[in-house]
Amino acid sequence: MRKLPRVLVVEDEPAIAELIAVNLRHNGFAPTVVFDGAAAQREVDAVLPDVILLDWMLPGESGVQLAKRWRQHERIKTVPIIMLTARTEESDKVQGLDAGADDYVTKPFSTQELLARIRAVLRRRAPEIVNDTVQVGELSLDAATYRVLHAGRELKVGPTEFKLLHYLMKHPERVHTRGALLDRIWGDHVFIEERTVDVHVKRLRESLGTAGAMIETVRGAGYRLTAQTLAAKPKTDPTPA
């Protein structure tokens, strides 16, 4: 079963935080609520969320300061951030986006609007979480029906290998370090060793059969999924006489 997308809610007004959390839970998300920047930092250090809802006005470090800091942090910078704010000035919106927020929601907002924006940033920044189909060479994966096909033949792939394959197929021809894969696939590299990645890549290659060759080991760097294997190169028919 697919894991629920984790949403970190950084909001110091308990009533609003609770309302958001309840709505997220009812709509297939796993929210965690914290009330200030220090607690938010501890939370992202422990478990990397899939998306962060960040209130602008917080006690201590502001939401804008937090967003700026996280955008420079190698591990956190890819996590989408949606700023929550009571400010309505256009210049405030620009300041929020400049700080590295992906989107901006003005209070009061409707639950439907907030959910739509969360889904939109996830689709843009972490497409492996949202259902869709992806194709690389003769390999295709459908996240909605949980199927992997190679040259029209269905392959059996375990849940972690499926997630790993989905991510590699969404970002083909690029080298991914073990650390980056842990962050994106497992969401939290604090408690898992990098060797775990090697184990799942090995299993994934076995599940893929001949298409396993599409996953290359790049010595000293990590892994890459490529369509440019010998098997995947198009055959050229000899010109008929």
**Is the CB of 62 or the CB of 160 nearer to Ca ion?**
62
Phi and psi angles of residue 34, each rounded to the nearest 5 degrees, phi first: -130, 160
Q: Which of 55, 102, 103, 161 binds Ca ion (CB under 5 A)?
A: 55
| Residue positions counted in the chain | 241
Confirm or reject binding of residue 92 to Ca ion (CB under 5 A). no
Check binding of 36 to Ca ion (CB under 5 A): no
Residue closer to Ca ion, measured from CB, 55 or 161: 55
Counting residues that bind Ca ion (by CB under 5 A) gives 3
**Beta carbon of residue 6, minimum distance to Ca ion (angstroms, whole number):** 22
CA 13, CA 57: separation in Å to the nearest integer?
Answer: 10
Q: Which stretch binds Ca ion (CB under 5 A): 23-31, 52-60, 124-132, 136-144?
A: 52-60
State which residue, 55 or 128, has the beta carbon closest to Ca ion.
55
Classify strands 81-85 and 103-106 as parallel, antiparallel or unpaired: parallel
Among 2, 12, 30, 68, binds Ca ion (CB under 5 A): 12
Beta carbon of residue 63, minimum distance to Ca ion (angstroms, whole number): 8
| Span of 2-10, 56-64, 99-107, 158-166 interacting with Ca ion by CB under 5 A | 56-64
Residue 12 DSSP code: S
* By the rule CB under 5 A, 47 interacts with Ca ion: no
How far is 36 from 19, CA to CA, in rounded Å?
A: 17
Rounded distance between C-alpha atoms, residue 230 and residue 228, angstroms:
7
Alpha helices by DSSP H, listed for 72-191, are: 90-98, 111-125, 159-170, 178-181
39 binds Ca ion (CB under 5 A): no
Identify the bridge partners of residue 53 per DSSP, sorted by sequence position: 9, 82
State the Cα angle at 40 between 38 and 44, rounded to 5°. Answer: 120
Q: How many CB atoms lie within 10 A of CB 79?
A: 23
List the one residue from 38, 39, 47, 57 that touches Ca ion (CB under 5 A): 57
| 128: contact with Ca ion by CB under 5 A | no
State which residue has the least CB distance to Ca ion.
Answer: 57
CB-nearer residue toward Ca ion: 57 or 120: 57
- Smaller CB distance to Ca ion: residue 12 or 216? 12
Compute the least distance from the CB of residue 14 to Ca ion, in Å: 11
Helix, strand, or coil (residue 42): helix
Tell me the β-bridge partners of 6.
Answer: 30
Residues in touch with Ca ion (CB under 5 A): 12, 55, 57
